[in-house]
């Protein structure tokens, strides 16, 4: 079986290792969702990853609801991403942009008071971050059938912009309770049209978005993230094995370059799933590279490869605090702990100031 340090073909490129940087929201863009100079430093520091997947990046004003999160729908955003991709490439790295529509997770304050959109008229539980502090989620309005074409156009526009900004590819964010996930799950999708009801209908939007993105940038430059094994911001499903098995078969048919799964263990230290992992079902249905994520250390990651469960692992918090994570793993070096208080702060502290290991 391969090790974490073996190369792997991911779509149209060969990654030098199987240690990915997982997408991590960090809140270092401007209020206009324009990337900043420190983001180029941050991503370039982590260029030894087999593949960098950026923080979730808004595809449109409608889909963006995170304070100081970056976007990719305007010309200034595209221009501001170029120094990021240039810095990563100069450091020898490869970088995909994660394309994000938050759906009902967008607070109306980001939309001039308008309702967010979702699969159905539902409300996410709890509070969300806004520029005015935490506020309760608002009820979403169902996305109308005649709006689907416009949504697909938004994804294609964002994907084209990502390539214009110098990215090596994109990842469709279909996980974590955001818009596409809201269409997938049967407790958030209450529709009775072609996008609701049966599993076949509920995976339709995922398939159409992914196909449109693949048609725009190439299937070899397109990945997808799913989160199949538990509640994600109130989105859940009564039969995830059937749902995500069907989703994986559909994505295999599109020919995407890879799948990346966020699956917290049942007794995880960060996220906690409400059921066992679903990735064995997905593994059987999807023939391309499969990457796992959530609460993995080096030993657990290598064990997953040894068992044939996955082809690699995406690391989040360990990579956040250790810009040279592959080197530390390869040499058995201790890891810096991450500081949660600075996960979403706007400055360089807890962002670009984590030290690399001293090399002898």
**Angle (CA) 47 10 245, round 5°:** 120
Q: Let me know if 354 is a catalytic residue.
A: no
Terminal C-alpha separation, the chain: 30
For β-strands 127-130 and 133-136, DSSP reports them as antiparallel
Query: Residues 68, 155, 178, 354: which is the catalytic one?
Result: 178
Based on the number of CB atoms within 10 Å of its own CB, is 229 exposed (0-12), middle (13-18) or buried (19 or more)? buried
Determine the Cα–Cα distance for residues 93 and 16; give it in Å rounded to an integer. Answer: 9
Say how far apart CA 120 and CA 104 lie, in whole Å. Answer: 9
Longest Cα–Cα distance of the chain, Å, equals: 63
Q: Report the DSSP beta bridge partners of residue 281.
A: none
CA distance 314 to 324: 14
Question: Nearest CA to 62 among 175, 187, 155?
Answer: 155
Catalytically active residues are 178
């Amino acid at each position: 079986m391969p090790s974490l340090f073996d190369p792997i073909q991911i779509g149209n490129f060969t990654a030098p290792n199987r240690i990915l940087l997982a997408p991590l929201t960090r809140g270092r863009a401007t209020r206009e969702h324009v990337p900043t100079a420190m983001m180029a430093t941050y991503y370039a520091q982590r260029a030894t990853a087999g593949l960098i997947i950026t923080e979730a990046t808004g595809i449109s004003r409608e889909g963006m609801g995170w304070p100081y999160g970056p976007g990719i729908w305007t010309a200034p955003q595209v221009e501001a991403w170029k120094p990021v991709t240039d810095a990563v490439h100069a450091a020898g790295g490869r970088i995909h942009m994660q394309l994000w529509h938050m759906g009902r997770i967008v607070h109306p304050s980001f939309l001039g008071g308008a309702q967010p959109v979702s699969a159905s008229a539902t409300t996410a539980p709890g509070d969300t971050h806004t520029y005015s502090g935490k506020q309760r989620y608002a009820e979403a309005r169902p996305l109308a059938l005649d709006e689907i074409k416009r949504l697909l156009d938004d994804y294609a526009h964002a994907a084209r912009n990502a390539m214009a900004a110098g990215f090596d590819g994109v990842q469709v964010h279909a996980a974590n309770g955001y818009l596409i996930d809201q269409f997938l799950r049967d407790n958030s999708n209450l529709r009775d049209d072609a996008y609701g009801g049966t599993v076949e209908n509920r995976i339709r939007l995922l398939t159409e978005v992914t196909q449109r993105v693949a048609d725009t940038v190439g299937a070899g430059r397109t990945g997808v993230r799913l989160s199949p094994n538990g509640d994600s911001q109130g989105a859940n499903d009564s039969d995830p094995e059937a749902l995500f098995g069907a989703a994986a078969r559909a994505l295999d048919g599109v020919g995407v370059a890879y799948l990346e799964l966020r699956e917290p263990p049942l007794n995880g230290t960060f996220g906690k799933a409400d059921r066992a992992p679903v990735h064995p079902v997905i593994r059987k249905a999807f023939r391309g590279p499969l990457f796992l994520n959530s609460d993995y250390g080096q030993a657990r990651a290598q064990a997953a490869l040894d068992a044939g469960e996955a082809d690699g692992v995406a690391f989040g918090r360990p990579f956040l605090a250790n810009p040279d994570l592959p080197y530390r793993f390869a040499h058995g070096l201790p890891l810096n702990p991450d500081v949660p208080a600075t996960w979403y702060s706007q400055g360089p502290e807890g962002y670009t100031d984590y030290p690399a290991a001293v090399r002898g």
